[in-house]
Each structure stands twice: as structure tokens, then as C-alpha cells.
Structure 1
Amino acid sequence: MEKTWWKESVVYQIYPRSFNDSNGDGIGDIQGIIEKLDYLKELGIDVIWLSPVYKSPNDDNGYDISDYYDIMDDFGTMEDWERLLDEIHARGMKLIMDLVVNHSSDEHEWFQQAKKSKDNPYRDYYIWRKGKDGREPNNWKSTFSGSAWEYNEATGDYYLHIFSKKQPDLNWENPELRQDVYKMMKWWLDKGVDGFRMDVINFISKVPGLPDAPNPNGEPYVSGSRYFKNGPRIHEFLQEMNEEVLAHYDVMTVGEMPGVDVEEAKKYTHFERNELQMVFQFEHMDLDSGPDGKWDLKPLDLRDLKASISRWQNGLNGAGWNSLYLNNHDQPRVVSRFGNDQEYRVESAKMLATFLHMLQGTPYIYQGEEIGMTNVHFEDIEDYQDIEIRNMYKEKVVEGNADHDQVMESIYTKGRDNARTPFQWNDLEHAGFTTGEPWIKVNPNYKHINAEKATADPDSIFHYYRQLIQLRKQQPIIVYGDYELILPVHEQIYAYIRHYEGEKLLVITNFGEEPVDFSLPEEIEFEPEERLIGNYADDQSHPGSFTLKPYEARVYKGK
């Protein structure tokens, strides 16, 4: 297996609006990030992934870009950004930017031109269709509720928007559009960025004809995802992007790809295919969703998590590369989701980190994960800012007959704003995030969950993450070793072994709040040499048989 810097790196995602506000306007900004780079250096991370900071009307928190060559006023200036890049590089870290090219903002100059007339030069930068039988061109539903089509008065037809109506989809069938995207990517890479995280990049190829989706219940709009996820030309487009742009730079690439499976991911990430290095897949993030999607809550069955993670660990081993994550800007806080954010918040946060960071792949840490930030419970729907939450609540409660309390419980559990409350820096007003009024309320628990307390406490979640990151740099087996699941049907213990050049790692985690007995299966050969890390004091017990405490994690090295 080829050794590369991006396989050995640990990535930290910054959601700039919520990270640190330097000027008191209540919105995190680039200067605020610069102020906290030494904190990230102390944590030990190698790469910063910066969520979008481009010019945007902010309909979807910056994922609606109106100018790919400029910085959003809320965040600062291009000079601020250039200083950020210099300061990151000066500390020996790297920066990857978000690349959002499935869609633009409707305020982008391309779209402003395209909507004027059918013969405008930019017309084919977007996807237009005539209405059908007095309604939209097809029955596709937007990810943010309602139709995926919006009528344009000037030209008498509709444009496609898989997301908000202010996020028209770009037409990747148009080679001129693709060349403009590649030109923009080169511009940023020539400025010195170290790679891209590509937003819903597997949506860029749509099935020709854009047919209606199956609709057995006769609903007005249904998911058309089968017609735009992993479409017929997606690999051609990514190989062209690689040939024209990415192959000419030493960069890191990861594609966000909802609906991708292991076999498809091999095509995207296999080193001989020249597409991308990693994908973000969502299989393990959908395991606590019922048949009606993310808002349909069900408890996690640990056996499902084992099956999913093992499928990806074994499937991509030697054939591609895994990205490892449990948190990001679109996901609820994992300590509230798969752990216990009350009595065992510290223990379960450390356990989940151990489980993830000992797998094969590149780990991603989302801001606040390293101090154990939790989900938030705002009582008033007006306190939520996310377009997805607001649209869902309106559709289900205001316009439908769903129960308010039940819908709020879904929001408390799965809402994206759980990840977007301001970073909790200290126990001062607004958690030290801003001297002004924050754009979204701070989680009230900041008085006892904050970075100042965590960095001062040697036994904190923060310092545990530091240990995990240091171990990864010292132990090649953690990065490159093969993966072997043990106890596949155990309902509480997730344990696995890593193998590399005659060495083994034994990783044992308790996903429950009850003590549980662990015994190494008789057929497993493991001679322990040392305990590398654990989230409880070492009791010197033999790794072959012992009782795990609530949410305990242990890692042993041996042969």
C-alpha cells in the first residue's frame, strides 16, 4: 500500500460561522480562525477543512455561492483569507477548501444571465425544462421539501434545484461550464490550497431525460435521487477533472457522496482510476433512521454499525481509501447520538473517538467534537436557523397535522443546527464565541463544557484526542493495518483487530452504560505487549478476559 501524507493526516473541520467571532458582529470569521490556530496546533491536527467562505447570499449557510473568486463579507476579505493560509502553512498544517459545484447561487452572475433569455450564452450553464401538463417538468422533490423545480417568468420554463430554489443545479453536460469550474479550481490551487472537499459531487451527472420517479402513493413530489446520484457520466467527469486539474498538484481530495455503496466507492477512490482519494459515505450515519428518512427516529443497533463499518473497512482495503467521521456540519453531535451526553459524556466521547481513530482511513474531527459538545434543545422553533429544519417543520406541523412535540423531538435528535451552535471557548457570556449577539443561540451547557476547561484538565476529552492523534503518528499499524472484526453479533461490545507487518492492535469498546464481560475468542491469537490507550485507569488486567466499565475503550498492541 502506497504511503501518502493525506492517509497519515488527521483533518479538523471548521464551520466558520460558528467557530470564533473576532469583531463582535455575532458571526464567526476568518480573523477569528486565525486567533485559534495555536489551539488547533496544540490538538495536533494536520489539515484544516474550511466549510465555504465564498461570496454568498447565505440561503444555505454559504453552500449557495454567488462568486467563487471572492470571500463572503460576513467572514472578511481575500486579504484575511490569504493571511489565514499563510498562518496555517507557517504552523506546518494544510488547508482544504469546500468545492460546491453541483449548484451555484441564483445570485451568481452565470444564473443572472441564464434566466434572461433562452439564447443567452450562459443559458446552458443550468438545467431548464418546459412544464408538463400544467405543472413541473417531473415529480422530483427538493432535498429541502417541495418541488425540485422553480418557474422562471422571463423564459416561461423551469430550472432544476435539488436543494433550495436559490441553489440552481449546474449543467455538467456543458463542456464550457466544466472548463469554467476547472479554471476556478486551478485559481485556488495556485493560491496554495492543499485540496478540496467536494460537496455532493456525485450529483453532477443526471440521467438523460430527467424522468419521473416511481410514485406508488401518488404524492405530489418524491425523491428522484436514483436519477442524479452516481449518474451515467459521473466517472467521466471526475476523470476529466483529475486530468485537467488535480493530477498537476500534490493535493487531498474527498467527495461527499450520499447514496454511494462500497463497490461504487472503489471506482471513485481506486488509485488506478484517477478520480478522487476518498469519499464521505453516509451508510453508518443512516442506521438510526427509520423507513421514512432521517426524521423517523429509531435506536442504533450496534450490530448494524459493525456490519456497515466492516463492509467499508474490508471493501476499500487495498482498493481505495476510507474517510472516518462521526460528526460534521450536517450531523447531530455524536456523543448525544451514539453515546451518553449526561452521566457518561466524557467516557462515551472518548470511547467513540477510540473506536473511530483506530480504524483504517483518514479521521475527521468536527469543531467541538474534541471537547465533547452536545446536541441542543431550543424550545422555540424560531431559535433554529437551518433551512432544512424550518422547511420540514412548516411542511409537517404548520401545513400538515403532525404533532409539534414529536417533530421537535426529531429536531432535537437529528437537526443540523445541533452541530452549528457556537463553539464553546470558555464560561464567559456567549461561551467566548462573540462579544455581540450570536447568529444562533449558544448551547446553555457552555458553563461546564468549554475549551478553556478542557485544555486545563489533563484527563479531558481534548487531551485524549491529542493522545489518539499522537499514537497515529507513532504507529503505522493504525494508519495502514488490515482490519478484522471480532464478536460480530455482540449487542454491546465492538471489538476488532488490526494487522500490519507482524504486529497486531486489539481495539475493544463498550457502547453501553452497563458493565460487560469481554473474552477474546479462542480462535484469535494475540500476545499482548502494551496497552496503548484507554479511557479509564489501567487496571492491569489481561486483555484476554476482563469486565468493561460503562463506555470503556481499550487498545492493546501485541503479536
Structure 2
Amino acid sequence: MQTNWWQNAVFYQVYPRSFQDSNGDGIGDIQGIIQRLDYLADLGVNAIWLSPVYQSPNVDNGYDISDYQAINPEYGSMVDMEQLIEAAKIRKIKIVMDLVVNHTSDQHPWFLEARKSKDNPYRDFYIWRDPATDGSVPNDLQSNFKGSAWAFDAVTGQYYLHFYAKEQPDLNWQNPKVREAVYQMMTWWLQKGIGGFRMDVIDLIGKEPDRKIKENGPQLHAYLQEMNARVLSQYDVVTVGETWGATPEIGQMYSNPNRHELSMIFQFEQINLDKQSGMTRWDLKPLIPAELHAVFSKWQLALDGVGWNSLFWSNHDLPRIVSRWGDDSQYREKSAQALAIYLHMLKGTPYIYQGEEIGMTNYPITSYHEIEDIESRRVYQQRQQQGYAI
């Protein structure tokens, strides 16, 4: 049976800001990644998932993009990016870009135009609604970063939708001009020689806010099939979608090759096993190993011969797995080895988060002021307001 290259590959996620600093300014950069390519090749890495290096105000660590076709100067230049793609290619390593197209930065030219007037040509690139009859928000949709998903714009007297920070307005995928602009941008990157895309919160692009539908909207799979036909099918690339609410049945839809959507998805059922029922993912309980085994077994069986699994423990959104489910002191090394053996013996494509290969632990944060992640900061503030003893 013929397989695709990504079914036999090992992926390694690089979070550029903290990976390797090449010029001593305290910020990791693209040249630093180039310096470490031989190390990654020696590890057996076949593909690098590169977290966003695009131009961004960095409200949400680069996931608020103001220019999809420019590099954040903190990380280098487009010349550096092209050097990385070529240097990786020499070592038979593919570069997989983070595709963030559920939303943009509010500093993106599309949004700067859209908010000028109701009849601006870019207005429908985003989702705008009039206030409710009492002048409040259009409905009770909530942001994933807490609070209302609607932000008021005084220039035109309407609200715009943002499922993340208010500086991250959601794109309107029902507008074919939005989809065309995204496909052109994707093609531009693929022509530079990248090996595919990790698609950030891709299960939100089918949203229908008037019906209060966030994930897995009715047009989601049609959009992905169109994307595949217009762009992805023209290249030998990998696509992995971030899908927090996916079930095995939905996973089959995404990754069944006969449906022409994605190569695989990141599903998070196992990651939620230590979450208390009815609570947030910040309210944890001890992990029950038998439940972990049951979830992995379920996904292995559900996608066998139908789709394809991704395998991961950690990423930029999650705690270090050794600190979370292992012992990050006396048995740090043995914990890391046991977790690695468990994951890499499963069928699917493994993803290693930078530092995982050496059993890296959580950073020992001692002060709120050390927290840079926007979601973590907002949860901390909310818990203080709720009277938690901190």
C-alpha cells in the first residue's frame, strides 16, 4: 500500500522566539533555527512545524498576523526565511508553516480598510453586526479568551466578531473574496518551497454567529474541500488542522483521503482527561492512566484504514508533558523516556515540541509579571476577581 511522505515522518515544532538566538538580542530568530538544523537532522526530524514568524503586533504571540507575506523583523527577513527553506531542503527537512486564517490582526490592511466605513470594499472580509435593540452586544457568543466575542467599533457604530482577543477580528469565510485571498497567499508560500501547513483553529472557519455556531459549522468541510481543490492538491504537502472539538467521527471526515480535505488533525480528547467535568481546562484533577489508554485506543481504531492520526503530548498552548503527567524532579528523565516510548509506538505521525526530546520541564514562573501568554494572563485576572487565593 502506497503511503505519503508525512505518514513516515517525524515532525518537530519550533517556537521561534525561544528556540535559538543567533544575534544576542534575547529573541530567537530564523538564523538561529538554521544553526540548529544539523541537530534536528541528527534527531531524525523530517519536518519542522514553524510557529508564526509573520509580521505581527504580537498581542497573541504572533497568532495575530498583520501581513501574511512579510516576516517579523524580530525574527529576520524574507531572505532569512528563504535560506531556512533551502538549508532545510538540503538536509531533507520540510518546513511547515502555521496558517492562521480564522482571524487576522486588527492591524492587517484588510481590517484597517474594513473599519473605515460600512460600504468599504473590505467590510465583508470580517463579520459585523448592529447592536441589539437595547444597544448591547448582538448576542451572547463568548470569546475563547473570556468575555464577549463582540467588540464595538465607534467609527461605524457596529460590533465585529472576535473569538480570541479583540485585536484578532474573525475573517468572514462566507465571503468568496476572503477565501480567494487566502488561497492566493497559500499558493505564494507553497511556491517558495514549504512542505505544507499546520492550520490554526481551522474548525472555526465555518462559524455562523447568528445561529451561535462556533466549531464545526455546516460549511466547514465544503471550505476545506474547496481549499484542497484550488491549492493543496497541486502540491505534495501535508496539512494538519487544529480541532479542539473533534470526535473520531469528525476526524474521519477531515482525514479520509477520499474526501480531499486534510492529511490529519490535532485532536485534544486525551489532553482534556485531567480536566474536571463541567469546569475549564484550568481546573485539573489527577490523570487516570486507563482513561488515557482508552482514548488513544479509540482514535487508533477509529482512523485505522480510514484516516490518519497525529501523535503529540505538548505544544505552545499546553504545559510540558513531563511536568504535567510525569515526575519533573527525581524521575524526570525516566518519565520523559516512558512518555516518548508510549507515543512513538502508536500508529500515526509524531510531533515533538521543542525541548521535549531532552525532557524539558515547565518554566518555574513565580510572578504574574513573568506570564506573557494572553489567555493565561486573562484567566489569572479572572480568578483574582472571583476571589481565588493567589
TM-score range for the pair, normalised by the shorter chain length: over 0.9
On the 8 A contact 1:143/1:163 being kept in 2, the answer is yes
What per-residue deviation string (whole Å, max 9, x for no partner) do you get for residues 273-327 of structure 1?
Answer: 0000100001000001112111111010112111111110000000000000001
Q: How many residues align?
A: 388
Q: 1:24 offset after TM fit, Å?
A: 1.6
| Residue in 1 that maps onto 2:125 | 125
Q: Counterparts of 1:241 and 1:203 in 2: how far apart (Å)?
A: 15
Q: 1:258 offset after TM fit, Å?
A: 0.8
Q: Counterparts of 2:380 and 2:6 in 1: how far apart (Å)?
A: 40
Q: 1:198 offset after TM fit, Å?
A: 0.3
Q: 1:207 offset after TM fit, Å?
A: 2.6
Q: Counterparts of 1:331 and 1:208 in 2: how far apart (Å)?
A: 28
Q: Counterparts of 1:322 and 1:275 in 2: how far apart (Å)?
A: 14
Decide which moves more: 291-300 or 265-274: 291-300
Q: Counterparts of 1:360 and 1:188 in 2: how far apart (Å)?
A: 30
Q: Counterparts of 1:63 and 1:30 in 2: how far apart (Å)?
A: 17
Match of residue 370, structure 2, among 373, 377, 383: 383
Decide which moves more: 72-81 or 130-139: 130-139
Q: 1:376 offset after TM fit, Å?
A: 2.2
1:253 match: secondary structure: strand
| Residue in 2 that maps onto 1:47 | 47
1:242 match: secondary structure: helix
| Residue in 2 that maps onto 1:507 | none
Q: 1:335 offset after TM fit, Å?
A: 0.7
Q: Counterparts of 1:195 and 1:174 in 2: how far apart (Å)?
A: 24
**1:364 maps onto 2:351 in alignment:** yes
Note the 1:162-173 alignment, pairs <5 A. 162-173=163-174
On the 8 A contact 1:138/1:210 being kept in 2, the answer is no
**1:102 maps onto 2:89 in alignment:** no
TM-score by length of 2: 0.98
| Residue in 2 that maps onto 1:36 | 36
**1:277 maps onto 2:278 in alignment:** no
**1:247 maps onto 2:212 in alignment:** no
On the 8 A contact 2:31/2:80 being kept in 1, the answer is yes
2:307 match: secondary structure: coil
On the 8 A contact 2:141/2:209 being kept in 1, the answer is no
What per-residue deviation string (whole Å, max 9, x for no partner) do you get for residues 105-141 of structure 1?
Answer: 0000000000010000000000011111221111122
TM-score by length of 1: 0.69
| Residue in 1 that maps onto 2:93 | 93
After TM superposition, the runs of 4+ consecutive aligned structure 1 residues lying more than 3 A away are none
Q: Counterparts of 1:339 and 1:120 in 2: how far apart (Å)?
A: 54
On the 8 A contact 1:47/1:96 being kept in 2, the answer is yes
Note the 1:161-310 alignment, pairs <5 A. 161-207=162-208, 209-211=210-212, 227-290=213-276, 291-310=278-297
Q: Which amino acid aligns with 1:261?
A: T
1:121 match: secondary structure: coil
Q: Counterparts of 1:376 and 1:181 in 2: how far apart (Å)?
A: 36
**Quick one: percent identity of the two aligned structures?**
56
1:98 match: secondary structure: strand
Q: Counterparts of 1:378 and 1:277 in 2: how far apart (Å)?
A: 37
| Residue in 2 that maps onto 1:501 | none
| Residue in 2 that maps onto 1:10 | 10
On the 8 A contact 1:149/1:158 being kept in 2, the answer is yes
What per-residue deviation string (whole Å, max 9, x for no partner) do you get for residues 234-270 of structure 1?
Answer: 0100000000000000001100111010001101100
Listed as ranges, the gaps of 5+ residues in structure 2 are none
Q: 1:2 offset after TM fit, Å?
A: 3.4
Q: 1:400 offset after TM fit, Å?
A: 2.7
Q: Counterparts of 1:208 and 1:229 in 2: how far apart (Å)?
A: 10
Q: Counterparts of 2:257 and 2:147 in 1: how far apart (Å)?
A: 40
Task: Report the structure, 1 or 2, having the larger strand content.
Answer: 1
| Residue in 2 that maps onto 1:403 | 389
| Residue in 2 that maps onto 1:327 | 314
What per-residue deviation string (whole Å, max 9, x for no partner) do you get for residues 55-110 of structure 1?
Answer: 00000000000000100011010001000111000111111100000000000000
What per-residue deviation string (whole Å, max 9, x for no partner) do you get for residues 498-536 of structure 1?
Answer: xxxxxxxxxxxxxxxxxxxxxxxxxxxxxxxxxxxxxxx
Q: Which amino acid aligns with 1:151?
A: F
1:27 match: secondary structure: coil
What per-residue deviation string (whole Å, max 9, x for no partner) do you get for residues 320-349 of structure 1?
Answer: 000000011111010111111111111110
Q: Counterparts of 1:11 and 1:280 in 2: how far apart (Å)?
A: 13
Q: Which amino acid aligns with 2:74?
A: D
Q: Counterparts of 2:351 and 2:121 in 1: how far apart (Å)?
A: 41
On the 8 A contact 1:10/1:364 being kept in 2, the answer is yes
Q: Counterparts of 2:221 and 2:92 in 1: how far apart (Å)?
A: 33
| Residue in 2 that maps onto 1:142 | 143
Q: Counterparts of 1:368 and 1:248 in 2: how far apart (Å)?
A: 34
Q: Which amino acid aligns with 1:66?
A: S
Q: Counterparts of 2:382 and 2:323 in 1: how far apart (Å)?
A: 26
Q: 1:208 offset after TM fit, Å?
A: 5.8
